[in-house]
Amino acid sequence: MKAKGLALAVLGLGGILTALGLGLSRHFSHASTIPQEQQASAPKQAEGDPQAADRAAIRKLMQGFLQAYEKGDARALAAHWTPQGEYISDDGTIIRGRAALEKAYTAAFTRNKSNKLDIDHGSLRFPSKDTAIEEGHFTVRRGKEGPTTSRYSLLLVREDGKWQLAVVREWPGEGIALRDLGWLIGTWVAKREGAEVHTTYEWWGNKSFIRCTFTIKEKDQTHKGFQMIGEDPSTGQLRSWTFDEEGGFGAAEWTREGNMWMLDSAGVLPEGSTLTATNILTRLDDNSFTWQSVKRTQDGLEMPDISPIRVTRVKSKK
């Protein structure tokens, strides 16, 4: 098979790591790239919104909440609640009062020195002039652990002209969710044996999909393609669909075990050959992961496994 076709084979199977598979396959060593961390942007305010100033104040409050959490400052974090504010965890535990909240967060930050928090702000509504309800998702990353996502609801009140948290409640995440891949948002690169792959992941639509574009450079050849990752509304299954500029395509179903993502993949090359594989993505930290491919077949014939390849984040220029 031509190098290009072999590259497409991995591309079709690679799911999240499509790109690398495409270019590096010519050496039977492929890698795919994927990006990371999600930057939540503030929602646009409608013209003439009577609550525009309140929305801005609440968003500023939550930005301070995020900063205090990532600094591990328990006192500053607890200060975002009212004096008798409450937190209800996803297991039903209730913590009442600012002092108790500070104590609980102090213990949590002692156990975990490195914490990162993403807030996916959802809806914000105002039942009355001095109360507001916000719903969305928290994604927490502790040290080198994989991200965990939970759904939240906030009851905010205005006291003495200042918005504060009255009740914060969390619910467990709904199994594997697209937002669990938010750490991929960004640009990644992988190199091996004369091939270099650049992949960029970004949210698409109303964060209903992650869209990936990739470019594989190999000597005097360049290949391009794109991928969409999303949840099947009928089953909740996480899936990806990959398309190459020459007509190859592939699809994969995703499962997860801790920091490891498994992609059961199948693809078709431009000339009609069929491919299957299990691709494994293992998150190492916020800026790197490995990718490998096992149980590979082409037209029913077994193919060699691809050993792990390291993929690293391209740091943005400031």
Specify whether 154 is located in the same domain as 209: no
Specify whether 196 is located in the same domain as 302: yes
CA 144 distance to own-chain centroid:
15
Residue 43 domain-assigned?
Answer: no
CA 85 distance to own-chain centroid:
31
The CA distance from 70 to 115, in Å, is: 5
Per-residue pLDDT of the chain (318 residues; tens, 9 = 90+): 333 433 433 443 333 334 334 333 333 333 333 334 433 444 444 457 888 999 999 999 999 999 999 999 999 999 999 999 999 998 889 999 999 999 999 998 998 878 888 888 889 999 999 999 999 888 887 776 667 788 899 999 999 999 999 999 998 766 677 888 888 999 999 987 788 889 999 999 888 999 999 998 888 888 899 999 998 887 778 999 999 998 999 999 998 887 889 999 999 988 899 999 999 999 888 899 998 999 999 999 999 998 899 999 998 775
Global pTM value: 0.59
Residue 244 domain-assigned?
Answer: yes
Residue 46 domain-assigned?
Answer: no
Specify whether 192 is located in the same domain as 146: no
Ramachandran class of 4: left when φ > 0, alpha when ψ lies in -120 to 50, beta otherwise:
alpha
Torsion angle (degrees, nearest 10) of CA 51, 57, 59, 62: -140
Specify whether 158 is located in the same domain as 242: no
pLDDT of residue 96: 96
Amino acid at 147: P
Residue 45 domain-assigned?
Answer: no
CB atoms under 10 Å from CB of 109, counted, come to: 17
Residue 44 domain-assigned?
Answer: no
In three-state secondary structure terms, 234 is: coil
Specify whether 161 is located in the same domain as 57: yes
The per-residue DSSP string of 82-95 comes to EEEEEEE-TTS-EE
pLDDT of residue 193: 77
Domain that residue 160 falls in: 52-172
**DSSP secondary structure letter of residue 27:** G
Residue 134 domain-assigned?
Answer: yes
Number of domains within the chain: 2
Do 142 and 285 meet the contact criterion of CB atoms below 8 Å apart? no
Strands 115-128 and 131-142: antiparallel
